[in-house]
Structure 1
């Protein structure tokens, strides 16, 4: 009996010691990652893309030889300050909930005369070829810097999309029976050195959403939220959705709703 108690006490002591070491190690890793991100942020290459986006916004292009300066992103024609932070939202003229990218493509079609295929042909950058959409989204996103994300999803159509996004977030699917929530539904998750935020909380969702679009060092390119979510689904071995798919906009609506109240800091920079 005494021996058993002694073993228990020793076991608890060892567990506590190793647990403390693990916590200290995690803390050290987190500190080093924070220093790494701080170093990367000094001279974000996305700043150059933002300048290109500003030029594209006012440039007359397309069959109608028109600029995007009258594009309504939800706050009125041409009003950009805070627009990104308020999307996705319901638009009466299309009777749809739209994010920044779907609304931007809508403006390229209606104002500039591009076909949907022409507008989305180069929706993400490739080696040696930057994407006009990524440049425009980077410019638009930066116009919300210092402003709070505001996607309460109070309109019935917005609420429906947020609910659909929540369903997708928790739905297990694909050959690995995977869901978004497996990685992003609880605290303390990490893949290798990459921290995985809990996107069900304001803090976690806010940390994730406030810095997109972001420059990804490993890819040497700016990624938009559409590209990030589509790539997440690909990595989870789900069927890859089309660009501007309702499923992606629904996920964005759910995540932006969770992140509401968080202050925007974009373009961000990721590993």
Structure 2
């Protein structure tokens, strides 16, 4: 899998379409992401694997069955009558089948489990759930992506669509794709979720972030998954 993931990342630059943030990083950071022994995110993957074993997940799921799973999320959940992301599914599974309390999205255990499961799909292309019942969430997510927010009156699209590839304060502006989460961010000195990054962006434009469990996050995740379709899963990616 590691060799395939490295090859897939190398092939990204050969075609048109969405460009991963991996391509805008320095060669040193790219090398760090490629090397499992240098990538700090692999510490969370290892912890997630241990949790997967200790918490009895293997009673229902084998690691082989996890291959390709993360590439499809968010998916439509009939019980919620709406989208659910990978972290939400893991929490739901623990609660329903193990009777365990839900894990906060940013807890070390939740991040580790999500990183381990997503890592099983590393190198595979994002293939969002085609269920048309997700269309309303995707439309809402796109509207939020293009909505101007905060005191700076900026939208996600103005940075990551209109100005992608340019530089801001000396750093390259990526297209803002979510194909590597949970990922290790040097700014955080730790692993973090997509929701954490979305909150950081909102604070960056001096906007009030949505509440932690707001449905707007799922809508944005559903749209971003469709926007990045075809890019390979990089979890755990590294970003500056």
Task: Note the C-alpha offset of 1:70.
Answer: 6.0
Cα distance change on mapping 1:39 and 1:143 into 2, 3 Å? closer
The alignment partner of 1:218 has SS state of coil
CA offsets 1:232-265 (integer angstroms, 9 cap, x no match): 2222222222334211111111111011122222
Match of 1:99 among 61, 80, 85: 85
Match of 1:82 among 28, 48, 68: 68
Q: Which residue of 2 aligns with 1:115?
A: 101
Q: Which residue of 1 aligns with 2:206?
A: 237
Q: 2:208 and 2:230 mapped to 1: Cα distance?
A: 32
How do 1:213-252 residues align onto structure 2 when only pairs under 5 Å count? 213-252=182-221
How many equivalent residue pairs?
215
Q: 2:76 and 2:60 mapped to 1: Cα distance?
A: 15
Q: Which residue of 2 aligns with 1:173?
A: 149
Task: Note the C-alpha offset of 1:124.
Answer: 2.4
The alignment partner of 1:256 has SS state of helix
Residues 71 and 78, structure 1, Cα contact 8 Å, conserved in 2: no
TM-score by length of 2: 0.79
Q: Which residue of 1 aligns with 2:231?
A: 262
Residues 150 and 202, structure 2, Cα contact 8 Å, conserved in 1: no
CA offsets 1:134-186 (integer angstroms, 9 cap, x no match): 111110110111211001x5323211111010000011122222211121122
TM-score by length of 1: 0.71
2:183 is the counterpart of 1:191: no
Residues 166 and 251, structure 1, Cα contact 8 Å, conserved in 2: yes
Task: Note the C-alpha offset of 1:38.
Answer: 2.8
CA-based RMSD of the aligned residues comes to 2.7
Match of 2:26 among 15, 30, 34: 34
Q: 2:195 and 2:43 mapped to 1: Cα distance?
A: 21
Q: Which residue of 1 aligns with 2:45?
A: 50
The alignment partner of 1:37 has SS state of helix
Cα distance change on mapping 1:95 and 1:102 into 2, 3 Å? same
Q: Unaligned 5+ residue runs, structure 2?
A: 1-22
Q: 2:65 and 2:183 mapped to 1: Cα distance?
A: 22
The alignment partner of 1:79 has SS state of helix
Q: 1:269 and 1:98 mapped to 2: Cα distance?
A: 24
Q: Which residue of 2 aligns with 1:17?
A: none
Q: Which residue of 1 aligns with 2:11?
A: none
Residues 146 and 155, structure 2, Cα contact 8 Å, conserved in 1: yes
